[in-house]
Structures are given as structure tokens and as C-alpha cells.
Amino acid sequence: MKKILAIAAILTLTFSLVACGGTEDAESTETKNESSQESNKEDKKAEDKDSSGSDLLIVGTEAGFAPYEYLKGDTVAGVDMDICQAIADAMGKELKIENMQFQGALLAVQQGKIDLVAAGVSITDERKEQMDFSENYIDATEVIVVNKENPAVSEPTGEKLKDLVVGVQTGNTADLWVSDTENAQPKEIKRYNQFLQASEDLKNNKIDCIVMDEMPAQELVAASDGTLEIVEGDPLFVEQYAIAVQKGNQELLDQINEVIKQLKEDGKIEEFLLNHTQQQ
């Protein structure tokens, strides 16, 4: 009898433990389900917003190109961002800025991962085959930046940058320009994702010069504690900035063009430039 009671007690105990365990399992499964439902909901939300007709306007940029785009605390500010904010406002959308590498932004827009690129992007024939451009909003010039102490170039034309180590941003038009032997015959081209790295190397005489857009060059020089300067004279070449969208996205392009036209008419682009330029 004692034995039977003991077995019964053991069985009861085992049963309640299993039951407990079972309950725990069920609970945790339920929690998991809930959280995965939550994340499904989140995914769904992200999908909704990312697809066209969403309430977000997603812009890709490279925030190392003041005054057009730069980091102010942890937000991206600049002329291009003001233009994008005006576009988002006109479309009744929320502006979402994705800070990425310049080349990556050009690729992301082609793949439809972002709605547009606003990164001081110059219109070129080659790019026109890969993406569509808005009306231009700025005429830009390209210049040479040197170390004041050790100016490797004195001619604004750069004398073809012969035998120099030239810094450029990867994949931008300066990179394309110096890579063409008709324009330049440098000893070496050093490609950087960020101009800040290039300017550090120029300060430390690791490179001889940087070829880049004039206004960002002025900002870089202004932030260099008097160590860098722009080679005086005519620019190396002239370009036009525009906003790029995925090829065929005419609807967005029309909306962008309308806003750019209005901003130009109202003198807003100059105002944005003044607001974001250090040297005034």
C-alpha cells in the first residue's frame, strides 16, 4: 500500500511538473508569437512606407560635402537637404535621410532602394544613361586644393597634375576627370569615401592635392586651421548639380522640378547657400 501511495505521489509530482513545463512552454511560445507578430507588423509598416505611394520620401546623400550636406549633431543638414525638405513638404511626405557613401547613393537610386539622391550630383552623359536628372539647381566648378606649406601645384589648370599624388572622392566626377589621361597624368590617384580623410592626408603631406567641387573645397579650407588653400584662378572644369531619381520615375521628377523651379524663382537656393556657408 505504501508502495502504491509512493508511486502515486511520484506520478502526481511528475504530472504537475510536466504540466508546469507545458504551461511555461506554451507561454513562451505565445510570447514569441506575439513578438513575431509585432515585428511582422513593423515589417509591414516599413514595406508600406518604402513602396511608392508611401508617406516617406527617402533621400540618399553623403553628409561630408558641406555646404550641400553635412552632419549637424546627428542630423544631416545642408542646401540639398533644404531642397529635399521643400520637395517632401510639397508632396505631403515625411523626409527620411539616409547617409551613405556617394557611389552607394548613386547605386541605391538606380536599384529603387531610395527615392532620390541629393548629394551635389553633377549631370553627366554616362549617369544620364543610368538615372534620370531633375532640372539643375546649381552651377558648380571644380578646383585643386593644396597644402599651403607645400603647394605642389601653382597653376589652376594643374599642369595635368603631372607626377602628383591626387586625392579624389571615389566615383565622383573629379575621380572620372583625373582618371582620363587626356585631362591629367598623375603619379597616383588616391580615392577616398570622405573628403575629411583626404584633407587629413593632404595636411600630413601624404598626398599632393585634392581635386573637388569648389564650395565644398572652400568649406574644407575654412575648417583646416589655415593649413590648406585653393589654387587661385580659373576652375578646372564646370558642372551642374541636379537631383537624381530612378530611371523612368517621371512622376517624382515632375514634382521635384516644380519645387526646384519655385525655389529658384523665390531666390531660396541662394538663401539656403548663405545659411549653410561657414565663411560669410
Largest Cα–Cα distance in the chain? 110
Looking at residues 42 to 61 of the shown chain, list those that interact with ligand GLN (rule: CB under 6 A): none
Cis peptide before 67 (omega within 30 of 0): yes
Q: What sign for the dihedral angle of Cα 269, 275, 277, 280?
A: positive
Query: From the CB of 140, what's the least distance to ligand GLN, in Å?
Result: 6
Helix (H) or strand (E) holding 41: helix 2-50
Instruction: Count interface residues toward ligand GLN (CB under 6 A).
Output: 13
Kindly provide the residue ranges of all beta strands, DSSP E only, lying in 170-278, ordered along the sequence. Answer: 188-192, 209-213, 228-230, 237-241, 244-246
Sequence-separated (6 or more) residues with CB below 8 Å from residue 208: 146, 147, 152, 153, 164, 165, 166, 202
User: Pick from 57, 55, 59: which is nearest to 116 by CA?
Assistant: 59
Q: Does 121 bind ligand GLN (CB under 6 A)?
A: yes
Among residues 87, 96, 102, 221, which is the contact residue for ligand GLN, using CB under 6 A?
A: 102
Is residue 213 within the footprint of ligand GLN (CB under 6 A)?
A: yes
Nearest CA to 229 among 156, 159, 172, 173? 156
Cβ distance to ligand GLN smaller for residue 63 or 152 = 63
**Grid cell listed for 142:** 571644380
| Shortest reach from residue 121's CB to ligand GLN, in Å | 5
- What is the smallest separation between the CB atom of 67 and ligand GLN, expressed in angstroms? 12
Which of 57, 81, 96, 122 is close enough to bind ligand GLN by CB under 6 A? 122
> Do 186 and 194 contact (CB within 8 A), yes or no?
no
Q: Binding to ligand GLN by residue 219, rule CB under 6 A? A: no
Least separation, in Å, of the C-beta of 162 and ligand GLN? 23
* CB nearer ligand GLN, residue 10 or residue 238: 238
From 29-37, 165-173, 249-257, 270-278, give the range in contact with ligand GLN by CB under 6 A. 165-173
Q: Does 62 bind ligand GLN (CB under 6 A)?
A: yes
Residue 65 interacts with ligand GLN (CB under 6 A): yes or no: yes
Cβ 185 to ligand GLN, closest distance in Å? 21
Q: Minimal distance in Å, beta carbon 65 to ligand GLN?
A: 4
8 Å CB contact between 169 and 103: no
Which stretches of the chain bind ligand GLN, using CB under 6 A?
62, 65, 102, 119-122, 140, 169, 172-173, 213, 239
